[in-house]
Amino acid sequence: MATVIQGIPALHTPQIRTGFRLIGAAVAAFFAERARRAAILRELNRLDDRDLRDLGLSSYDFKAIANGSFQR
């Protein structure tokens, strides 16, 4: 015969709620950073060859620029 557990009190602790808030904040930060990178890449893709040459860039540099790791 199986017994039924009437709720688990440990799941209602403030630490669990704080953990879920932190996870939610991390997920929101991830998507915000992803959107920021996408916006940068969209802007860079609008540049033509002449603009890129004037800036001293190539399309191979786009990913590094979006990641913030581009160095000259």
Q: How many CA atoms lie within 13 A of 5 on its CB side?
A: 4
Tell whether pTM > 0.85.
no
Q: What is the pLDDT of residues 41-69, one digit of tens each?
A: 999 999 999 999 999 999 889 999 998 88
Please report, rounded to a whole number, the percentage of residues in the chain having pLDDT higher than 70.
83
Do residues 42 and 24 lie in contact, with contact meaning Cβ atoms separated by under 8 Å?
no
Of 15, 66, 22, 20, give the one whose Cα is nearest residue 40: 66
Query: What is the H or E stretch that residue 40 is in?
Result: helix 14-45
